[in-house]
Amino acid sequence: MATVMDNRGMIDGFGRRITYARLSVTDRCDLRCRYCMAERMEFAPASRLLTLDEIERLADLLVARGVRRIRLTGGEPLVRGGVLGLVARLGKRIGHGLDELTLTTNGTRLGAAAGALFAAGVRRINVSLDTRDPERFRRITRTGDLGQVLGGIAAAKAAALKVKINMVALAGVNQDEIATMLRWCDAEGHDLTLIETMPLGAVEEDRTAYYLPLDAVRRDLEQHFRLLPLAQRSGGPARYFEVEGMRSRLGFITPLSNNFCDSCNRIRVSATGTVYGCLGHDQKVELRDLLRSGAAGTVDAALDALVAGKPRRHDFRIAAERPAVDRHMSVTGG
């Protein structure tokens, strides 16, 4: 599989080169995490979604414009019918313009998919897991079965996939588990990234009650662990630390307490073909109809316009009267 490069990289108005795309394959999810989604969500009808062939074609256009890493997201990507076939096809681009194909999942369907993901060329995945307590897990997700998720993580490990656990730090909910989660990740060979809750989309819960600044979490952890800053950066939002005596890395994603946008190298594509320059803004272009028209040049022009107007940074404020944007994380691609 050869991908022809057109040598027209995407560089925004602040000199940031766009090399990473998060492609959502669905806005649907089989969980309803309280900080992320409303209990009764309205999802896009199937007719509005990009087909899997269109997602594949868009991926090729993005690689031709300099994207080197693609992460498949949702919603929950593994609920989309035929998605493993898409993963297999995209995996053939690795080494032909694409450096890496990864996936973020809630783990509910990972047990059946882990082997196919590895066979397709995926080597790393992120799994969202906010607690290892079954009752808390059901409370946070409203519907989830923790055993199903832990089984999926175990299957991923058995399939030789490198797992990173993403844990949203929630005041009064799971903050007492963070040190325990870190020790479990180390025992299992997983990295751990802690994330501040983000004000995206309207939910029934009061996010201000859940907000837990990660600088406070870090100070608490440093009472028990020696954290050594790592120079390694992926261009993403996480700041990583080595934990003395552990093989696991610890990351902090701090959209509220410590803005991380200066090195942003990404764009986000929704399942309906809307491309956002920033998670926290509505600046966007619509690609679905352009893709269906068959005119690659118009897609290129739209991407140029998007990147030229990419905001310098988000403006998340946990105590604002309204969320930063009306769309939920599952719409943008988590």
Q: Which tens digit of pLDDT belongs to each residue from 270-280?
A: 999 999 988 76
CA distances from 274 to 17, 165, 303, 332 (A): 20, 28, 11, 8
Domain with residue 322: its CATH number is 3.20.20.70
37 in a structural domain = yes
Return mean pLDDT, the chain. Answer: 87
Quote the domain boundaries for residue 80: 20-163+264-332
Residue 128 is labelled as binding a ligand: yes
71 in a structural domain = yes
79 in a structural domain = yes
245 in a structural domain = no
Residue 18 is labelled as binding a ligand: no
CA 12, 98, 288, 8 dihedral sign is positive
Residue 16 is labelled as binding a ligand: no
Minimum mean pLDDT range among 124-133, 151-160, 207-216: 207-216
**Considering its fold, how many domains does the chain have in total?**
1
Number of other residues whose CB lies within 10 A of the CB of residue 262: 9
Q: What is residue 3's predicted lDDT score, i.e. its pLDDT?
A: 40
Instruction: Indicate the pTM of the whole model.
Output: 0.88
Q: What is residue 300's predicted lDDT score, i.e. its pLDDT?
A: 93
**Which positions ≥6 away from 95 have C-beta within 8 Å?**
none
247 in a structural domain = no
Residue 261 is labelled as binding a ligand: yes
Residue 276 is labelled as binding a ligand: no
Residue 151 is labelled as binding a ligand: no
115 in a structural domain = yes
150 in a structural domain = yes
Residue 185 is labelled as binding a ligand: no
Residue 164 is labelled as binding a ligand: yes
CA–CA dist 146, 156 (Å, integer): 15
291 in a structural domain = yes
Residue 71 is labelled as binding a ligand: yes
